[in-house]
Every structure is written in C-alpha cells, then in structure tokens.
Amino acid sequence: MRFLDVLIGSVAVTAALAAPASQADGNLTPTRTIKGKRASKFQFVGVNQSGAEFGNKDLPGTLGKHYTWPVRSTIDTLMSKGFNTFRIPFMMERLIPNQLTGSINTAYAQGLQDIVNYVTSKGAYAVIDPHNFGRYYDKVITDVAGFKAWWTTTAKLFPTNDKVIWDTNNEYHDMDQTLVFNLNQAAIDGIRAAGATSQYILVEGNSWSGAWTWVSSGNGASLLNLKDPQDKIIYEMHQYLDSDGSGTSTACVSSTIGTERLQAATNWLKANNKKGLLGETAGGANAQCIGALTGMLSYMAANSDVWTGWLWWGGGPWWGDYIYGMEPPSGTAYTKVLPSLVPYI
C-alpha cells in the first residue's frame, strides 16, 4: 500500500488500539467453498493482513505499541468465507536489523513464524512480504549482494514449507529500472540458495508495481528476463480504482475502471506466457466501486490462464474504521463489500 511508508506512527497505532479485535464473524452470504475444495477459477484469493509493518518510523519499535501481528481468529473467519491466501507485511529492519548481512532478530522472527505456521497449518498460503518499498532504513537499497544475503537468511526460516510464498519487496518506486531488476533477481537467487526450492516467488515492479502502468513504466520490458531455476515466478501487480491509483479514496473513476486498468498488463502476461497476481486491490463501499471491482474480477476470471488470483487490501487488527477494512466482524469492506465478491472467491 503506497501510503503506509508515511502513515503510521506510534500515535496513530496507539489510537487504533481501541479498534475492535478480531472475533467471530457476523452473518454474510456463504461462499461457494466446499470443505477441502474451492470452486473459484483462481489459485490464490485472500487478504493482506497488516500490523507487523505498522509504526515503520519507530524502529525497532515495541510490540503492542508500534506494531502487532495478525490475529488467528481472523484467519479462521476469513478462511470460512473461502479465502485461502494471506499476505503478511513486515519490516526488513525489524527482522534483520542494522545491516542487510546481519542476523535474525529472534523475537520478531518468532512472531512471523507463529502467524505463518498457523496460516499454513490450516491449509492456506502465507505470503512473506517485506513491506519496504525497495528501501532499508529509508534509503534505496543499492547493495544487491546484501539484499541477496538478507533473503538467504530470511528464506531459511521456511525452507521446506510449500504453503509459503515469497514476495521480493513491496512496491519498488522511483528507482533505477535496472536496479529493480537486479534486486528481484538477487532475491530469487538468495531464496533458492537457502534451499527453499518448492515455493512460488512473487516479483514486483517499479512505479509502485501498478498493473495500469506495468507496460508504460517499462516494468514489462525490464523484468521479462528474470530467471528462476524452479520456474515458479509470478508477477505481482497492485491496482486501486481511485483517480490516481493510490488507494486513498472511497471514490472509483467509473464502474469499468478496474477492467480498463488491467487490460495492458493482461495482454503482456499472455504475450510473454507469464503468470500474474493482483497482490493488492480495493475499492470503496459504494455501488460504483463494487461494480468496478466485480467487473475487474470477472475479467480476471475470464483470463485465469494468466491471472492466478487477487488479494484484498487490507485486513489486520489495528485498522479500526479504515475505508477498505476487511477485518471481521465490523470492517467496512467486510460488512459492505465482501458479499458482492463471493462469486470470485
């Protein structure tokens, strides 16, 4: 999410502590999920579960004051609705502090391992998402070898869990295009060097990894030749439906904007025999946005040969009355948007 790198400090988080904790869900239209089977055309459908990346200006930060971890009961409730994938944002600096080639912070790693192991033990996928925008301590990462080392150390936390999915970094932006390629390739190489050979790797692009600018920004051309010896790369793109695509408004441009913004990226995926995932998407709880969202997801379902799925932004126990909140029992999107999304789960 674009605004997280400036949004959340200890004051906002402290205030958010008053937000409702995750608990048993209310009455919503049941999904089409049959126990053990999913009727969806998508391989991955889920929710970003925020919290561990909060307070990103307070490093290392204090658990319960500056950051938190997702709640197990939320995972249970969302899985009961048919969701099978949970992207877990966290901070690189908290997991491996001080330097990219440093050692794991065992306390923070334990929090990550606890929620990831819970998600995967329930049969769902956990996306490991260093939510850093291509930065480390607010500076653009230029140490490609160090980035590979960071990833090798991190991947050793879950080297054999085939329900884990690796996300190289959230929303690179305002960076040299070749550097973004090199960082993605270094992450792939570092993950595989750790012995993590069975899992998918999500690669993200420059320009906030936007689907609507995937081709025009140069991401398509520059990231086309990323190599994975396991051939399990998925191109992760993000798409919001407000006027500037930032995901900061409840207004959507039109009821067809979702489909329109995915067309060029879809054509690129098809032309190059690649797979894509919409790693972040959302819209306001109103008729026009719901129409735009369902139209977009219908378009993706019709092109499920290249689109592996979609993840909503966002959930997490500290969002409170966030405009796109998918946190049960009372999140805005959970109560007002989710019923319309059921056919695409």
Determine the average pLDDT of the residues in 331-336: 98
- Structure tokens given for 49: 């579960």
Rounded mean pLDDT of the chain? 91
97: cis peptide before it, omega within 30°?
no
* pLDDT of 30: 34
Mean pLDDT within 128-153: 98
The pLDDT of 85-114, averaged and rounded, is 98
Residue 40 confidence (pLDDT): 80
* pLDDT (mean) for 140-151: 98
8: closest CA among 72, 61, 74, 86?
61
- Which pLDDT score is estimated for 243? 96
Q: Is 280 a catalytic residue?
A: yes
Q: Is 257 left (phi over 0), alpha (psi -120 to 50) or beta?
A: alpha
8-45 pLDDT, tens digit each: 333 333 333 333 333 333 333 333 333 444 568 999 99
pLDDT at 341 over 90: yes
**pLDDT at residue 39, as a whole number:** 63
Q: Centre a 10 Å sphere on the Cβ of residue 249 and count the other Cβ atoms it contains.
A: 16
User: Which tokens hold the place of 316?
Assistant: 């997490």
- The per-residue pLDDT for 78 is 98
Residue 44 in tokens: 């991955």
Tens-digit pLDDT profile for residues 112-128: 999 999 999 999 999 99
Structure tokens at 265: 């990226």
Share of the chain above pLDDT 70, in %: 89
Report the pLDDT averaged over residues 319-325.
96
Checking if the pLDDT of 49 tops 60, the result is: yes
Q: According to the model, what pLDDT value does residue 13 have? A: 33
* pLDDT tens digits for range 266-290: 999 999 999 999 999 999 999 999 9
- Alpha carbons 254 and 296: distance in angstroms, whole number: 12
Dihedral angle computed from the Cα positions of residues 336, 208, 2 and 21, in that order, rounded to the nearest 10 degrees:
50
Mean pLDDT, rounded, for 221-225: 97
pTM: 0.90
> Is the predicted pLDDT of residue 161 greater than 90, yes or no?
yes
Is the pLDDT score of 1 beyond 70? Answer: no
pLDDT digits (tens, 9 = 90+) for 232-261: 999 999 999 999 999 999 999 999 999 999
pLDDT at 60 over 70: yes
Question: Catalytic one among 53, 171, 204, 236?
Answer: 171
- Residue tagged active-site, from 53, 204, 236, 280: 280
Please tell me the predicted confidence (pLDDT) of residue 17: 30
171 is known as an active-site residue:
yes
CA-CA distance, 341 to 147, in Å (whole number)?
37
